[in-house]
A = this chain, B = another copy of it.
Amino acid sequence: MDRQYYNVVSLIRKKRDGGYLTKDEIKYLIDSYTKDELPDYQMSAFLMAVFLNGMNDEEASALAYSMLHSGIVVDLSSVPGVKVDKHSTGGVGDKLSLILAPIVAAAGVPVPMISGRGLGHTGGTLDKLESIPGFNVNLDLDAYEATIKKHNLVFIGQTEDIAPADKRIYALRDVTSTVECIPLIAGSIMSKKLAEGIDALVLDVKHGSGAFLKDVNESKKLGQRLVDIGLQFDKKVIAYLTNMDQPLGYAVGNWFEVVECIDCMKGKWPDDVREVTLLLSGAMIYLGDKADSVDEGVKLAEEMIASGKAYQKWIEIVGEQGGDVSMIENPDSYPKAEFSLEFKAEQDGYINSIDSYLVGMASLELGAGRKKKEAPVDPQAGIMLHKKLGDKIKKGETLLTLFTNKKPYLESAVQILKDAYGISNEQTEIKPMITHIIDKDGLRDFDYSTVPSLKR
């Protein structure tokens, strides 16, 4: 069929006036933009109109569909098994992909993982992997397919072939204040994930102080939209809404997080990391048909840790993708950041709040994140937490240790952190990590009794 033509100004006007675009109209906009026939200034006006007037379900699906088909959709049908990936909307200290991918792959489920870099206050899986000397995330699609066939696992970044429209729109949103928009976020996530060649997807939608969407209601909407799009594309999907009221685990910063992951794979878990990682792993194993329930999946995940098979899978993939395995086996040999500073409590009491956003921003300030796109990150920079929510602290005790290779950043990071901790005499109750589940049966509160194996 001949390509249909639309008047772009009229399409922008329709969205501006609160109307809804057809699938063909959205496809026309995205195709034209990908082919450089539609200039940035028209796309940015359209994105702002979408930001302010929203999109309905059909439009959001059409957007994901059009961005997906702006590039190659990888065909992994030659890889046996149900291919499952996980996506997190991002949070501070969120290193879970690095732990759960080897667990799930070790359990027999192929995990084709295309990840992103850190953005704003949140870290990115690629930056963490690249802190391992030699680790190559820039595989082409042939190497991607060969690697998952061989190891049930592969880690790569978004190539030029994968959803190029998303790549350009993502960059444009960043400079036009159109980032925090549910249909645009959902389209961006799902176009990339659907291009990987997956059969199933587990989503971790964060809320709380360290998340992009702090409000749980916004996270519910995003989670629902992500699940809806996945189901429309005939994928098996489960989304969990999880709490990001404090950084995940104790390590924030690229290499620090890799080290924490190695500990986890050896069974030395921070409670919060353990709970979410095992749940997500269990769900992936369940969707990958290697367990009859999420709970059975969690049990199998624990076996992968206990048996050392997950750690073995990790060593295997690090080696395959060019990483220096000796650093994984002996993390103490890794070079240290030149400067450090202990950030201390100014009063006695219980830690009742940690502003994860500020911890993330301080880590970025120290060099672990990017102030500008494409800037390099410092793998040695970051923050180690000594105490978490609910812990008792004495005045003068260390809350955090900051690490950087640029001394002045210590002072500016301290400035950022000065209001990050809430300490009081009363110990408040810690909220549960996992709050809601969304799947084909809709949204409901998460019921811990359905996954008894999560209990320690």
- Which of A36-44, A292-300, A399-407, A426-434 sits within the interface? A36-44
Min CB–CB distance A124 → chain B (angstroms):
20
Q: Does A177 have its Cβ within 8 Å of any Cβ on chain B?
A: yes
CA A53 – CA B172 in complex, angstroms? 21
Question: Chain B contacts of A174 at CB under 8 A?
Answer: 9
CB closest chain-B residue, reference A15: B177
Min CB–CB distance A39 → chain B (angstroms):
7
Question: Chain B contacts of A10 at CB under 8 A?
Answer: 177
Question: Chain B contacts of A16 at CB under 8 A?
Answer: 48, 51-52, 177-178
CA A177 – CA B16 in complex, angstroms? 8
- A40-B40, A52-B53, A53-B52 known; A13 vs B177 contact (CB < 8 Å): yes
Min CB–CB distance A414 → chain B (angstroms):
23
CA A13 – CA B52 in complex, angstroms? 11
Would A42 and B175 count as touching, CB distance under 8 A? yes
B40, B48, B177: the one contacting A9 at CB < 8 Å is B177
Would A178 and B45 count as touching, CB distance under 8 A? yes
CA A10 – CA B45 in complex, angstroms? 16
Q: Does A325 have its Cβ within 8 Å of any Cβ on chain B?
A: no
B39, B48, B53: the one contacting A45 at CB < 8 Å is B48
- A52-B16, A53-B52 known; A45 vs B44 contact (CB < 8 Å): yes
CA A39 – CA B52 in complex, angstroms? 21
CA A13 – CA B181 in complex, angstroms? 12
CA A10 – CA B13 in complex, angstroms? 25
Q: Does A49 have its Cβ within 8 Å of any Cβ on chain B?
A: yes
Would A176 and B52 count as touching, CB distance under 8 A? no
Interface centre among A39, A40, A41, A53 (most CB of B within 10 A): A41
Would B41 and A176 count as touching, CB distance under 8 A? yes
Q: Does A105 have its Cβ within 8 Å of any Cβ on chain B?
A: no
Would B9 and A175 count as touching, CB distance under 8 A? yes
Q: Does A213 have its Cβ within 8 Å of any Cβ on chain B?
A: no
- A13-B177, A16-B177, A40-B39 known; A47 vs B45 contact (CB < 8 Å): yes
Would B176 and A9 count as touching, CB distance under 8 A? yes
Q: Does A137 have its Cβ within 8 Å of any Cβ on chain B?
A: no
Q: Does A195 have its Cβ within 8 Å of any Cβ on chain B?
A: no
- A48-B16, A49-B48 known; A41 vs B175 contact (CB < 8 Å): yes
CA A77 – CA B172 in complex, angstroms? 47
Q: Does A63 have its Cβ within 8 Å of any Cβ on chain B?
A: no
Q: Does A12 have its Cβ within 8 Å of any Cβ on chain B?
A: yes
Would B40 and A177 count as touching, CB distance under 8 A? no
CB closest chain-B residue, reference A49: B48
Interface centre among A10, A41, A176 (most CB of B within 10 A): A176
Question: Chain B contacts of A9 at CB under 8 A?
Answer: 174-177
B42, B44, B52: the one contacting A42 at CB < 8 Å is B44
CA A9 – CA B373 in complex, angstroms? 14
CA A42 – CA B172 in complex, angstroms? 9
CB closest chain-B residue, reference A53: B52
A:171-196 near B, CB below 8 Å: 172, 174-178
Question: Chain B contacts of A48 at CB under 8 A?
Answer: 12, 16, 44-45, 48-49, 52
Instruction: Encode A8-52 as 1/0 by CB contact (under 8 A) with B.
Output: 111011001000000000000000000000011111110111011
Would A12 and B45 count as touching, CB distance under 8 A? no
- A47-B45, A53-B52 known; A176 vs B40 contact (CB < 8 Å): no
CA A176 – CA B48 in complex, angstroms? 11
Min CB–CB distance A184 → chain B (angstroms):
13
Top 8 nearest A-B pairs (CB, nearest first) are A45-B176, A48-B48, A40-B41, A13-B177, A12-B177, A41-B44, A44-B45, A45-B48
Binding site for B on A (CB under 8 A): 8-10, 12-13, 16, 39-45, 47-49, 51-53, 172, 174-178
- Could you write out 17 A-B pairs with CB less than 8 Å apart? A12-B48, A13-B177, A16-B51, A16-B52, A16-B178, A41-B44, A41-B172, A42-B44, A42-B175, A44-B44, A44-B45, A44-B48, A45-B45, A45-B176, A48-B49, A49-B52, A52-B53
10 additional contacts, CB 8 Å, given A9-B174, A39-B40, A44-B44? A9-B175, A10-B177, A12-B48, A16-B52, A40-B41, A41-B176, A42-B175, A44-B48, A45-B45, A49-B52
